Amino acid sequence: MALFYPNNEQLTHLLLILRKTYKGVHSNQIAFPGGKLEPEDENLMETALRETYEEVGVPKESVEVLKQLSEVYIPPSNYLVQPYFGVYSKPEVFQIQESEVEALVEVSLSDFLDHTNLSEEKLSTSYAKNINVPAFKLNGYTVWGATAMMLSEIKELLEQVL
């Protein structure tokens, strides 16, 4: 769930999370709240809403889902991800899921849309060594891979209307 919300000063922010360090391909990476489909989920939008509640404490009825974004395939985990764009207009204090989320990364809309925060990084992944990947520099973190792809789509959509 790409979740946009006003902060205390009524400035729009985007919520990302820093995943915990663990033995897995997405350890210690910046991501959106989200996860895999569970039997109780009616559809993938319900999965995104449930996971957003579990990981950062946002009740699903408090999120207005505005758009389904493009699916993104993630080779290391062999998942096809269905992201959504949502608004949390009256935010409460976020409650992180200690077992999965290391920290919240609250990015201002102005920083997100700033073209100087786009870059290309040389990274090594579980499936490739020393590859150039597009990335965002946000709040001191390098955001790349599937999350950067999703951010690029969101940025393009927002620039069409702003």
pLDDT at residue 90, as a whole number: 97
Q: Determine the average pLDDT of the residues in 109-113.
A: 98
Between these two residues, 26 and 43, which has the higher pLDDT value? Answer: 43
pLDDT per residue as tens digits for the range 35-72:
999 999 999 999 999 999 999 999 999 999 999 999 99
Indicate the burial class of 34 (C-beta count within 10 angstroms; 0-12, 13-18, 19 or more). Answer: buried
Give the integer Cα–Cα distance in Å for 151 and 72.
Answer: 11
How far from 49 is each of 15, 128, 133, CA to CA, in Å? 14, 32, 29
Percent of the chain surpassing pLDDT 70:
91
